[in-house]
């Protein structure tokens, strides 16, 4: 499948996890993929793992909580390639688990919000002009099953992922007639390398929360992202797509 030959896409927070899986999927589909993260050496390692030639997967350092760094990242991409056709706002953190709102540390709350929603805002603010300059394109924002349901003990993450849906819909409406599509996806638990390090009983519980009784693979999430970035989804914008094995149907 070569949907993305001649296309350039940025995936934020792609040093590992879901972002890495998305970057690999897009590279396999022919895209030139920029991947970003806070730790440049880790991002470089991931880029080399996907594409040892260094020609079509390029590492960039950017902290998505810094508007200046996000702006500079898009400027660097345009300076290097002259165009940007797709954006995946993937960078995010979960924050503390099993913590009541009344016990939630304020600095932890701010850190989750700054990464998970402010980072998406900065990505849209500086990424949309780059897409417009390139003739239009598609954006996929990573929300979560927590974007449409509540889960006790992770209020900041849940609130931020709900907010991702709001900004996705607003951006989609604002640019619907300008060749920009904006959608969000909501993965359930994904079997990433980090998840694989958890105790077996925790992994089994996570799998059991989905009606399909397993976690998603990174490829399954990446396939949905690739579909929404491609022209195969050309009439889809402002929507939320669950990739959760039936979790939110319960």
Q: Active-site residues: which are they?
A: 157
Q: Are 175 and 128 in contact (CB under 8 A)?
A: yes
If one counts every other C-beta atom within 10 angstroms of the C-beta of residue 151, the result is: 14
Phi and psi dihedrals of 194, rounded to 5?
Answer: -65, -40
Q: Are 125 and 73 in contact (CB under 8 A)?
A: no
Residue with tokens 């590992």: 16
Q: Are 94 and 151 in contact (CB under 8 A)?
A: no
Q: Are 49 and 33 in contact (CB under 8 A)?
A: no
**Cα→Cα distances 91→63, 113, 118, Å:** 9, 12, 11
Among 44, 37, 4, smallest CA distance to 19 is for: 37
Q: How many Å apart are CA 110 and CA 102, to the nearest integer?
A: 15
């Amino acid at each position: 499948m070569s949907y993305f030959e001649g296309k350039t896409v940025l995936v934020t927070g792609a040093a590992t996890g879901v972002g890495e899986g998305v970057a690999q999927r897009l590279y396999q589909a022919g895209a030139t993929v920029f991947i970003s993260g806070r730790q440049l050496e880790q991002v470089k390692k991931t880029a080399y793992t996907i594409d040892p030639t260094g020609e079509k997967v390029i590492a960039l350092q950017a902290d998505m909580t810094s508007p200046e760094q996000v702006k500079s990242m898009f400027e660097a991409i345009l300076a290097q390639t002259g165009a940007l056709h797709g954006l995946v706002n993937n960078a995010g953190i979960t924050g503390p688990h099993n913590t009541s709102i009344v016990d939630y540390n304020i600095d932890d709350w701010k850190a989750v919000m700054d990464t998970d929603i402010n980072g998406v805002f900065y990505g849209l603010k500086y990424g949309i002009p780059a897409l417009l300059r390139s003739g239009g394109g598609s954006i996929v924002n990573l929300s979560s099953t927590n974007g449409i349901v509540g889960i006790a003990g992770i209020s900041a993450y849940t609130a931020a992922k709900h907010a991702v849906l709001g900004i996705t819909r607003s951006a989609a409406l604002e640019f619907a007639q300008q060749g920009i599509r904006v959608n969000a996806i909501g993965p359930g638990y994904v079997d990433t390398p980090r998840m694989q390090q958890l105790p077996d009983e925790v992994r089994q519980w996570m799998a059991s929360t989905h009606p399909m009784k397993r976690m998603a693979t990174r490829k399954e999430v990446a396939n949905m992202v690739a579909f929404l970035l491609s022209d195969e989804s050309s009439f889809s914008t402002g929507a939320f797509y669950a990739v959760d094995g039936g979790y939110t149907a319960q």
